[in-house]
Structure 1
Amino acid sequence: MKTLIASIALLSSASAATASNLDQQVTRALPELEALYLHLHQNPELSLQEKKTGARLAAELKQLGFKVTERVGGYGVVGLLKNGEGPTVMIRADTDGLPIIEQTGKPYASKVRVKDANNNTVGVMHGCGHDIHMTSFIGAAEQLVANRDKWQGTLMMVAQPAEEVGAGAKAMLKEGLFSQFAKPDHVLGLHVSAALPAGKVAISPGYALANVDSVDIIVKGQGGHGAYPHTTIDPVVLASRIVLGIQTITSREISPLKPSVITVGSIHGGSKHNIISNEVKLQLTLRSYDREVRDQQIAALERLTKGIALSAGLPEALAPVVYVHEEESIPSTYNEPALANRVTDSIRNELGEAQVLKSDPVMAGEDFGLYGRTEDNIPITIFWLGGVNPEEYQRAQQTGEPLPSLHSSKFAPDYPLAIRTGVRAMTASALDLFNQ
């Protein structure tokens, strides 16, 4: 198989590279990129375990002439290419897979099985499209190197681990991503969409993705025999009241003009039919955009759970415990509007007006937002890259049959078209930012 360097040599021998013939250049590079995609898809690694993935991306960037540093913030990779005086543009891709057994039926499906942090054997799959992200990332780097006579500045390629657990961006920033390597003027990213046909791109100026918090609530009680409930304070009943009470936080305490989601995803308590237990555990996910709403959600949870417990006669010493996993918390992603609009124009010029849509914000989370939350207030923008085969998308629109979502064991993107579109969109955006 030819290396990416060989591909660049081929591109360089063609007519002078310009943004107007980018489609042709990407088409010629696509076979090598598809081979890279298939390798990444078949060799996924869990969060915080991306050793081989990081090494592969580092090798690709080194072949392209980047100055590469590995193991930044875990298995993160930073590649720098200085090309004269000008702005610094950072392009980021995430690298981790998910603990999912792939059930797509594709001949290239992942068959990887590993031990997770709890020593359980799990399947591993790129069910969130990070393999598309990484391939588009390398493809954009390749095109920008081939077109280096058309821009000036510093290209900063960041392959970030552990996005799925909200740890990668924090770790890379903590290790001095913007102080030890380069401080970008703009940060770009993309994310595959399971609700958008391949070939199209969608961008949301302003808020794009949500604050995410994981919260545990331990509801305590005074257990006993199920035949004598009057001698107990039943934590199952208290937990049930709390679950219902939680629904009033968003509906009655937070302004309807400010999005808020509080979902109880897990409830566990008790051990036998006729035993009233001493404890029930709840697990929640909280979503919002405004920091004030996030803080209001947590304060309301603490007040409401304690109030319900006290109203049942439970002593204050046994009040419910509300624990926020701060280490997993990530802020909302805010696409700086001026940058988002500029990127939108660049992609429209490259792909065509009909291929670029304005998207609504979503309540999913992404630690990409952290790159815009440092004291430097660097403008960032992430855009959605269509991943659904256009024919399958059209059929689903006609029949109403749901498409496999991100994180589904059956999510199988139309990778050739998605990669081609992602490389063109990212390259065009970067070229315009270098030459603004």
Structure 2
Amino acid sequence: MLSRPLLSALALALCAGSVQAANDTPNARVDQIVQQDEAQLIEVFKALHRNPEMAFQETETAARVASALREQGFEVKSAIGTTGVVGILRNGPGPVLMYRADMDALPIKEETGLPYQSSKVTAWLNNPSQPVMHACGHDAHTTWLLEVAKVMAQLRDQWSGTLVLVAQPAEEILEGATAMVNDGLYKFAPKPDVLIAAHVSPIFPAGSVGLREGPRLAGTDQIDVELPGIGGHGSTPHVTKDPVVMAAMAVMGYQTVVSRMVDQSKPAVLTVGAVQAGVNNNVIPDRALLKLNLRWYDQQVRERLIAGIKSVTSGVLLMNDVPDGYVAKYTMKGYSTPVFNAKAQTERAQAVLTAQLGADKVLPGLPPLMGSEDFHMLASPYPDTPTLFLEVGSGKPDVYKNLVEKQQMPSAMNHTSRFVVELPAIATGARAVSATLLAFFADAR
């Protein structure tokens, strides 16, 4: 029979062994690495926030990413789709998982008052001194990617397969993913078995993650409509064809496309984001430019929206007796199909994130949103690729409660001058993505 002191010593040894075993789990190791790096990660995030770069101008951000990936042993290819970066870590047999982070900022003057607020200006469109701001969290996304690279490299003994990390340009104009594919992404990278992205969400508190299967984000088109006119002096409008007036008529007419031409049971949005015409008070210009944005989930709705825009525009020109030969010009720019979270991948991610973050930190995602993304267009050559979109909380502690109980949205949403990513989101995003990747690799073992 063992003595009481020996039993106590044995119990302590067993307890210590169980603690050591718990600390050796992939989840615990992820947390340990990220916790050790959190202060440095926040400084990286602040540096990226101070130096935002517009679509296809992300040269400094891309260089930082490429350097960091090489330090972790990734094969790196830069300048894909102008400024895109791809890193590949081959770690034996297994699936190919692709994770994307976007890098670009927005043409917004920051008004957050943060000590690391952006004061940067750059040339953008017709403005040589356009203020620039990370108003959608892409600085956080890039920071996550850098830490995910480190975590996955340090935990190579925990997974087998091939990890592809993509730092994508020009998400805000919905052109970057397609540009990378068209520029030979898959001449360098292997076909993904699963494609993953994560995005900050101000409707969830920092430290949490929102997740929901099925339709998540709408398809979208960016369309420029140029209206032709015949310019002249402001005092003699009767001898002109005024494109400013025609632009105003078109803007109002477009509002009937959704309300009167689209099936009301199907979601659709048509926004005119910019009207550009003329420079002087007393000069009627010879053209006007309208910048339109469409959102949809159904391909037939998309086709109806585009047909309706053209119908309204033609009607406006006809009403104003614009001569034959003067035709509207349509420029199709950024485009993306809707985003869907695959069922199996969503369920697996919910389980692993519950274990990683805690059940109270994994929140149900909202019903399908009319916002859009283009990360899944990276898999456009392989349309059957399962996709997963994680929504990482970046708001204050009470934002979700206010939304559920009071239907009150946060005061500063994405794409506004006062948008702030609360700093706990930096570590949470890195933990969530790393844990999800490790789980997906483990399932294939």
TM category, shorter: 0.7 to 0.9
Choose which of 427, 432, 435 in structure 2 pairs with 1:428: 435
> Which of residues 141, 148, 156 is equivalent to 1:133?
141
Rounded to whole Å, the distance in 1 between the matches of 2:340 and 2:217 is: 7
Taking only aligned residues, the RMSD between alpha carbons, in angstroms, comes to 3.0
The residue number in structure 1 matching 2:41 is 33
SS at match of 1:325: strand
Instruction: Quote the Cα distance in structure 2 between the aligned partners of 1:217 and 1:59.
Output: 41
Paired letter, 2:198: L
How does the TM-score come out when normalised to structure 2? 0.84
Does the 8 Å contact 1:218/1:281 carry over to 2? yes
- CA deviation string 1:294-317 (max 9, x = no partner): 122111211222134334544443
Q: 1:345 aligned to 2:343?
A: no
Report the CA distance shift for 1:354/1:316 in structure 2 as closer, same or farther (over 3 A). Answer: farther
Report how far residue 94 of structure 1 moved.
0.9
Which residue identity lines up with residue 367 of structure 2 in the other structure?
Answer: D
1:207 to 215, 221, 225: 215
Deviations 1:89-140 (A, max 9, x none): 1111111222333222222222333333546123332221111101111222
Alignment of 1:136-215 (within 5 A): 136-215=144-223
1:42-61 to 2 correspondences below 5 Å: 42-61=50-69
TM-aligned CA distance change 1:391 to 1:46, over 3 Å? same
Q: Given the alignment of the two structures, is residue 107 of structure 1 paired with residue 102 of structure 2, yes or no? A: no
Contact 1:219–1:238 (CA<8 Å) still a contact in 2?
Answer: yes
Distance 1:348 1:297, change over 3 A: same
Q: 2:203 touches 2:410 (CA, 8 Å); kept in 1?
A: no
Conserved 8 A contact 1:310-1:316: no
Deviation for aligned residue 1:291 = 2.5
CA offset digits 1:32-61 (Å, max 9, x no partner): 222222222222222222222112112212
Q: Match of 1:345, as an amino acid?
A: A
Write the distance in 1 (CA, Å) between the matches of 2:343 and 2:132. 36
Change in 2 beyond 3 A, CA 1:213/1:57: same
1:94 correspondence with 2:132: no
Q: Deviations over 1:296-345 (max 9, x none)?
A: 211121122213433454444345x141323x223332333332333233
User: 2:388: which partner in 1?
Assistant: 381
Report how many aligned residue pairs link the two structures: 421
Judge conservation of contact 2:399–2:410 (CA < 8 Å) in 1: no
- CA distance in 1 between counterparts of 2:130 and 2:234 reads 38
Higher-Rg member (1/2): 2
Does structure 2 conserve the Cα–Cα contact (< 8 Å) formed by 1:95 and 1:161? yes
Match of 2:314 among 303, 306, 309: 306
Please list the CA deviations of residues 264-313 of structure 1 after superposition, one character each: whole Å capped at 9, or x if unmatched.
Answer: 23335567778776544433211112232212211121122213433454
Report SS of the residue matched to 2:165.
Answer: strand
Map 1:358-373 onto structure 2 (within 5 A): 358-373=365-380
1:63 aligned to 2:59? no
| Residues 210 and 332 in structure 1, CA contact (< 8 A), matched pair in contact too | yes
| Per-residue deviation, 1:260 | 1.0
Distance 1:231 1:374, change over 3 A: same
Which deviations, in whole Å up to 9, do the C-alpha atoms of 1:11-33 show, x marking residues without a partner? Answer: xxx95342255334422221222
Q: TM-score when scaled to structure 1? A: 0.86
The structural deviation recorded for 1:404 is 1.3
